[in-house]
Amino acid sequence: MTAATPPGCLLIVTAEVDAEVEADWNHWYDTVHLPDALACPGVLSGRRYVQSGEASLSDRGTSSRSAARVYTAVYELSGPEAIATPEFQKMRGWYQFAPHVRATTRVMQALR
């Protein structure tokens, strides 16, 4: 991304993945999914992060803590229309890993 082309919005996606598929998940994400996303019109850049530590879980007034690894991808987009392109729709999703994704969030934030 250049200073002349600031992003119109951010797409932030998080996922927790079962340990038994984590190596396959990372290989697929780094070699297939992220390059495919970056090739889509309107996707200006993308980066992946992982956070390890203790997570707090609340369910109907009951709280617990456990070890967790949360993967986060941050995509800079020209605007929200970038996720509606045929190219983006074709590559989005991690369906082959769906049974192993325990938690996920997806947030789009306009910057203008």
Which tens digit of pLDDT belongs to each residue from 11-43?
Answer: 999 999 999 999 999 999 999 999 999 999 999
Question: Where along the chain do its domains lie?
Answer: 9-110
The pLDDT assigned to 61 comes to 85
Tell me the fold of 9-110. Answer: Alpha-Beta Plaits (3.30.70)
**What is the reported pTM?**
0.83
d(CA 1, CA 33): 19
Confidence of residue 53 (pLDDT cuts 50, 70, 90): confident
Structure tokens that stand for 10 in this block: 């951010």
DSSP assignment of 52-79: EEEEEEEETTEEEEEEEEEEEEEEEESS
Identify the pLDDT of residue 5.
67
Q: Per-residue pLDDT for 48 more than 90?
A: yes
Residue 74 token pair: 């941050």
Angle made by CA atoms 86, 105, 36, in degrees to the nearest 5: 35
- What is the overall mean pLDDT for the chain? 90
Summarised one tens digit per residue, pLDDT across range 65-78 is 888 889 999 999 99
Tokens at residue 110, please? 């306009």
Q: What are phi and psi of 94, to 5 degrees?
A: -130, 50
